[in-house]
Amino acid sequence: MTSTPETASGAILLVHGAWVGEWCWEPLKRALHDSRHHVHGVGTVPTVHAVSLTGHGARAAESGPHITLDTHADDVTAAIEHHDLHDVTLVGHSYGGRVITRAWRRVADRVGALVYVDAHAPIGPGTRTDRAADCQAEAEMVPFRDFHPTADLLGGEEAVDAFYAGLMPQSARTLHAPFFEALPDDLPRTYVAATAEPDRRFRPYAAAAAADTRWHYVELDATHWLILTHAEAVARIVLEAGATRWRSS
């Protein structure tokens, strides 16, 4: 039976990266609402949720070295089950790609598509940064060291200050855990590569996705913080990822 846009547009669940929190998705959440009419066939507002991963954002008080990748995968599955979400488009940015890769199989009957936004993805050789020295010095908590945003990028010093105020150290156990898991061929997946400032950690995933016909590959002339600076473009890609499912059915 052919699905209708009302049932197949589904929900969107946003999973943030390391150090940040659910607050980093606010520009994209606004853009998803504003962009829905520009995507052919999508005329309703999809249900959008941004997960607060344990130890970050609204759950910063729970931070600690006990947190694992499985903890964060559990956060995703719990959000899907708590809100009774179906036909979900799971969106992971940066480290969030590890989380959605680990989480999707636990609720596979509720997941319709995966979107990796300049993220670690289950394709290609992958990479892993050795942070052993950081972990020892920080009691197994890794401080924020990468992808420092500038005032020009975020639109002013106040925005930069707010960004840093929201950061939390990341449990090393989340970053060092294996996450690679092959996706089924029929599961729609999209990779969004930031090309203005390509990082060695994400280039292998982007290159592999670009060369694999099972992936929908998109490039944006943006830095790693494209979810903040290019929210409208990312929103349209996310909406298209969900809409494609019923268009092709």
pLDDT at 5 over 70: no
Q: Is residue 9 part of a domain?
A: yes
Q: Is residue 83 part of a domain?
A: yes
Q: Is residue 30 part of a domain?
A: yes
Instruction: Please name the amino acid found at residue 37.
Output: H
In this predicted structure, which of 2-11, 79-88, 236-245 has the lowest mean pLDDT?
2-11
Question: Which residue would you say has higher pLDDT here, 3 or 149?
Answer: 149
**Residue 230: CATH number of its domain:** 3.40.50.1820
**Tens-digit pLDDT profile for residues 164-209:** 999 999 999 998 887 777 899 999 999 999 999 766 789 999 999 9
Q: What is the SS3 assignment for the chain? A: CCCCHHHHCCEEEEECCCCCCHHHHHHHHHHHHHHHHHCCCCCCCCEEEEECCCCCHHHHHHCCCCCCHHHHHHHHHHHHHHCCCCCEEEEEECCHHHHHHHHHHHHHHHEEEEEEECCCCCCCCCCCCCCHHHHHHCCCEECCCCCCCCHHHHCCHHHHHHHHHCCCCEEHHHHHCCCCCCCCCCCCEEEEEECCCCCCCCHHHHHHHHCCCCEEEEEECCCCCHHHHCHHHHHHHHHHHHHHHHHCC
Q: Is residue 117 part of a domain?
A: yes
pLDDT at 86 over 70: yes
Full-model pTM: 0.89
Burial label, 245 (beta-carbon count in 10 A; 0-12, 13-18, 19+): middle
pLDDT for the residue numbered 246: 40
pLDDT for the residue numbered 132: 46
pLDDT for the residue numbered 180: 74
C-alpha span between 8 and 3 (Å, rounded): 6
Q: Is residue 167 part of a domain?
A: yes
pLDDT for the residue numbered 156: 95
Q: Is residue 168 part of a domain?
A: yes
pLDDT band at residue 1 under the 50/70/90 scheme:
very low
pLDDT at 151 over 80: yes
Q: Which residue has the tokens 């939390």?
A: 168
Structure tokens given for 96: 């969030």
Domains of the chain: total: 1
Mean pLDDT (the chain, rounded): 86
**Tens-digit pLDDT profile for residues 8-40:** 348 999 999 999 999 999 999 999 988 765 554
pLDDT for the residue numbered 91: 98
Q: What is the extent of the structural domain holding 104?
A: 5-195+212-247
C-alpha span between 134 and 33 (Å, rounded): 40
Task: Report whether 69 contacts 18 (CB < 8 A).
Answer: no
pLDDT band at residue 124 under the 50/70/90 scheme:
confident
Structure tokens given for 128: 């892993």
**Tens-digit pLDDT profile for residues 59-74:** 999 999 999 999 999 9
Q: Is residue 205 part of a domain?
A: no
Q: What distances in angstroms separate CA 50 from CA 25, 71, 138, 226, one per listed residue?
A: 7, 16, 28, 16
Q: Is residue 200 part of a domain?
A: no
